Amino acid sequence: MRSRLRSFGDRRRHRVSRGQSLVEFAVVSPVLILLLLVVADFGRVFFVSIALNNAARAGTQYGIQSPANAADVTGMEQAAQNDASGISGVAATASEYCECPDGTTQACNSSPACGDMRVYVEVDTTGSFQTLLNYPGIPSSISLTGKSVVRAE
Protein backbone atom coordinates (compact mmCIF):
# COMPACT_ATOMS: atom_id res chain seq x y z
CA MET A 1 0.00 0.00 0.00
CA ARG A 2 2.81 2.40 0.81
CA SER A 3 4.44 1.81 -2.53
CA ARG A 4 1.21 2.70 -4.32
CA LEU A 5 0.94 5.98 -2.45
CA ARG A 6 4.53 6.80 -3.20
CA SER A 7 4.06 6.19 -6.95
CA PHE A 8 0.90 8.33 -6.93
CA GLY A 9 2.86 11.24 -5.41
CA ASP A 10 5.67 10.84 -7.95
CA ARG A 11 3.19 11.04 -10.81
CA ARG A 12 1.61 14.15 -9.35
CA ARG A 13 4.99 15.90 -8.99
CA HIS A 14 5.83 14.98 -12.60
CA ARG A 15 2.63 16.63 -13.90
CA VAL A 16 3.32 19.79 -11.91
CA SER A 17 6.88 20.05 -13.23
CA ARG A 18 5.63 19.73 -16.83
CA GLY A 19 3.36 22.71 -16.30
CA GLN A 20 6.18 24.64 -14.67
CA SER A 21 8.40 24.11 -17.72
CA LEU A 22 5.65 25.40 -19.99
CA VAL A 23 5.25 28.55 -17.88
CA GLU A 24 9.02 29.13 -17.84
CA PHE A 25 9.16 28.78 -21.62
CA ALA A 26 6.26 31.23 -22.03
CA VAL A 27 8.10 33.78 -19.87
CA VAL A 28 11.51 33.36 -21.54
CA SER A 29 10.43 33.06 -25.22
CA PRO A 30 9.65 36.80 -25.78
CA VAL A 31 13.11 37.67 -24.49
CA LEU A 32 14.69 35.09 -26.80
CA ILE A 33 12.71 36.37 -29.80
CA LEU A 34 13.75 39.97 -29.07
CA LEU A 35 17.37 38.85 -28.76
CA LEU A 36 17.08 37.07 -32.12
CA LEU A 37 15.74 40.25 -33.76
CA VAL A 38 18.57 42.35 -32.30
CA VAL A 39 21.16 39.89 -33.60
CA ALA A 40 19.48 39.89 -37.04
CA ASP A 41 19.57 43.72 -37.17
CA PHE A 42 23.21 43.72 -36.12
CA GLY A 43 24.02 41.30 -38.93
CA ARG A 44 22.07 43.38 -41.45
CA VAL A 45 24.09 46.48 -40.52
CA PHE A 46 27.30 44.62 -41.31
CA PHE A 47 25.82 43.29 -44.56
CA VAL A 48 24.89 46.78 -45.80
CA SER A 49 28.27 48.19 -44.76
CA ILE A 50 30.13 45.45 -46.63
CA ALA A 51 27.88 45.91 -49.67
CA LEU A 52 28.61 49.66 -49.75
CA ASN A 53 32.36 49.03 -49.59
CA ASN A 54 32.09 46.41 -52.34
CA ALA A 55 30.14 48.87 -54.50
CA ALA A 56 32.85 51.49 -54.05
CA ARG A 57 35.46 48.89 -54.99
CA ALA A 58 33.48 48.00 -58.14
CA GLY A 59 33.47 51.67 -59.15
CA THR A 60 37.23 51.98 -58.74
CA GLN A 61 37.80 48.72 -60.62
CA TYR A 62 35.90 50.22 -63.54
CA GLY A 63 38.04 53.36 -63.30
CA ILE A 64 41.42 51.61 -63.35
CA GLN A 65 40.73 49.58 -66.49
CA SER A 66 42.05 52.32 -68.77
CA PRO A 67 43.03 56.01 -68.67
CA ALA A 68 39.76 56.84 -70.42
CA ASN A 69 37.78 55.04 -67.71
CA ALA A 70 39.76 56.86 -65.00
CA ALA A 71 38.43 60.14 -66.37
CA ASP A 72 34.88 58.73 -66.73
CA VAL A 73 33.45 59.82 -63.37
CA THR A 74 29.84 59.02 -64.30
CA GLY A 75 30.85 55.54 -65.46
CA MET A 76 32.53 54.82 -62.10
CA GLU A 77 29.47 56.09 -60.24
CA GLN A 78 27.18 53.95 -62.41
CA ALA A 79 29.34 50.86 -61.84
CA ALA A 80 29.14 51.41 -58.08
CA GLN A 81 25.37 51.86 -58.16
CA ASN A 82 24.95 48.76 -60.34
CA ASP A 83 26.93 46.71 -57.85
CA ALA A 84 24.75 47.94 -54.96
CA SER A 85 21.48 47.37 -56.80
CA GLY A 86 20.02 45.31 -53.93
CA ILE A 87 20.33 48.18 -51.45
CA SER A 88 17.90 51.09 -51.60
CA GLY A 89 19.01 54.72 -51.52
CA VAL A 90 22.65 54.21 -52.51
CA ALA A 91 24.52 57.25 -53.81
CA ALA A 92 28.00 57.12 -55.31
CA THR A 93 30.49 59.95 -55.83
CA ALA A 94 33.60 59.34 -57.94
CA SER A 95 36.67 61.45 -58.54
CA GLU A 96 40.07 61.29 -60.22
CA TYR A 97 43.14 63.08 -58.93
CA CYS A 98 46.86 63.05 -59.52
CA GLU A 99 49.56 62.98 -56.87
CA CYS A 100 53.29 63.56 -56.87
CA PRO A 101 55.63 61.31 -54.86
CA ASP A 102 55.98 64.08 -52.26
CA GLY A 103 52.22 63.92 -51.55
CA THR A 104 51.02 67.09 -53.32
CA THR A 105 47.84 66.65 -55.33
CA GLN A 106 46.61 68.41 -58.42
CA ALA A 107 44.05 68.05 -61.17
CA CYS A 108 45.05 65.44 -63.72
CA ASN A 109 44.25 67.59 -66.76
CA SER A 110 46.75 70.31 -65.77
CA SER A 111 50.44 70.31 -66.61
CA PRO A 112 52.38 67.93 -64.35
CA ALA A 113 54.15 69.57 -61.42
CA CYS A 114 56.48 66.60 -61.00
CA GLY A 115 58.13 63.95 -63.13
CA ASP A 116 56.39 60.91 -61.62
CA MET A 117 52.69 61.81 -61.71
CA ARG A 118 50.44 59.10 -60.18
CA VAL A 119 46.76 58.89 -61.10
CA TYR A 120 44.26 57.78 -58.45
CA VAL A 121 40.53 57.10 -58.66
CA GLU A 122 38.28 57.36 -55.62
CA VAL A 123 34.67 56.27 -55.19
CA ASP A 124 32.63 57.09 -52.08
CA THR A 125 29.28 55.42 -51.49
CA THR A 126 26.56 56.30 -48.99
CA GLY A 127 23.38 54.53 -48.00
CA SER A 128 20.93 54.35 -45.15
CA PHE A 129 19.93 51.39 -43.01
CA GLN A 130 16.54 50.92 -41.37
CA THR A 131 16.24 48.68 -38.30
CA LEU A 132 13.52 46.04 -38.07
CA LEU A 133 12.20 47.48 -34.79
CA ASN A 134 12.49 50.81 -32.99
CA TYR A 135 14.85 50.14 -30.10
CA PRO A 136 14.95 52.60 -27.20
CA GLY A 137 18.07 54.76 -27.30
CA ILE A 138 19.10 53.59 -30.80
CA PRO A 139 18.14 55.53 -33.95
CA SER A 140 15.97 53.56 -36.39
CA SER A 141 17.80 54.96 -39.42
CA ILE A 142 21.60 54.79 -39.66
CA SER A 143 23.70 56.39 -42.39
CA LEU A 144 26.54 54.15 -43.64
CA THR A 145 29.43 54.89 -46.02
CA GLY A 146 31.90 52.99 -48.15
CA LYS A 147 35.13 54.18 -49.75
CA SER A 148 37.72 52.86 -52.19
CA VAL A 149 40.87 54.57 -53.48
CA VAL A 150 43.03 52.84 -56.10
CA ARG A 151 46.06 53.94 -58.08
CA ALA A 152 45.17 53.83 -61.79
CA GLU A 153 48.64 53.98 -63.33
Question: What is the band of 2 on the pLDDT scale with cuts at 50, 70, 90?
Answer: low
Please state, rounded to an integer, the average pLDDT across all residues of the chain: 86
Domain range annotation of the chain: 2-151
pLDDT, position 86? 83
Among candidate residues 87, 88, 83, 101, the one with its CA nearest the CA of residue 148: 83
Kindly tell me if the per-residue pLDDT of 78 is higher than 70.
yes
| E runs forming strands in 77-117 | 91-99, 105-106
* pTM summary value: 0.77
Question: What is the band of 101 on the pLDDT scale with cuts at 50, 70, 90?
Answer: confident
Apex 149 CA angle, 145 and 153, nearest 5: 160
